[in-house]
Amino acid sequence: MSSTVFLPREKHSHTIICLHGRDSDATQFANEFFESEASQPEGQPRTLLDLFPTVKWVFPTAPLLRAERFNVENMSQWFDIWSVEDPQERLELQEGGLQNSITQILTIVREEALPRNKIFLAGISQGFATAISAFLASGIPFAGLFGLCSWLPFADRVENAHIELLARNTPVFLGHSSDGSVVPIQNGRILRDTLRTHMQTVEWKEYKDGGHWINEPQGVDDIVKFLKANM
């Protein structure tokens, strides 16, 4: 699995592994992700890359997999899915690809020189669906997770005891815009409610606008606040 990496500008303190959405790639996502700005500080660079100079950012690229619904042989996706509107439809399409992507993401985690409590998992849409799945499969806590416009694959398989043991001290931030046309906000609410059943700290922000992306600047401000609170 190839990755686009942004090395820290100052002494390395944390790593954030951030996954793009379906039909995208690491370079495209990273470039657009770092165009979004926070509201502060005025008159200075305000992207996440600027505001966290000690962070190493890792953007993996998803494999090319057959998209059954679209009859496309090679689509960039972490796993195939029949319907983003209803992620429970045709679950058999999702399992193999998701498991392979989980394995690859956890390999990246293991290769990091930092301890797990200095590593964040993050992503947008199918990327965060994969990141949260990797977290739940890992059996280890992280510094935190943040996700945008996403959902929880195989939500009915979440096991209470397993999550509570590994996730007790792992905070989560979720952001979702109500005007997004790709992933219904109800799928994000199900993700929120399922995690809150088992985890202590799940922060949820609904934005009126922002589409299938980061609300700007408030959504960026919220991520900044979350990261600063958990570093």
57 near 91, Cβ under 8 Å? Answer: no
The single-letter code of the amino acid at 151 is W
pTM exceeds 0.85: yes
The C-alpha atoms of residue 48 and residue 220 are separated, in whole angstroms, by 8
Summarised one tens digit per residue, pLDDT across range 12-70 is 999 999 999 999 999 999 999 999 999 999 889 999 999 999 999 999 999 999 999 99
Instruction: Tell me how crowded residue 199 is: count the other CB atoms within 10 A of its CB.
Output: 18
Give pLDDT, residue 61. 96
8-state DSSP, 68: T
What is the fold of 3-230? Rossmann fold (3.40.50)
Summarised one tens digit per residue, pLDDT across range 29-40 is 999 999 999 999
**Residue 135's Cα: distance from chain center in Å?**
10
What Å distances lie between residue 18 and 34, 88, 124, CA to CA?
12, 24, 8
The C-alpha atoms of residue 42 and residue 45 are separated, in whole angstroms, by 8
In the sheet with 55-60, reading across from the earlier edge strand, the strands are 3-6, 55-60, 14-19, 119-124, 144-148, 172-177, 202-207
Identify the residue whose tokens are 């990091």.
Answer: 112
Identify the residue whose tokens are 């820290």.
Answer: 8
Give pLDDT, residue 140. 84
Summarised one tens digit per residue, pLDDT across range 146-200 is 999 999 997 666 655 456 555 567 999 999 999 988 999 999 999 999 888 878 7
The C-alpha atoms of residue 17 and residue 105 are separated, in whole angstroms, by 8
Give pLDDT, residue 77. 96
Identify the residue whose tokens are 């996700």.
Answer: 147
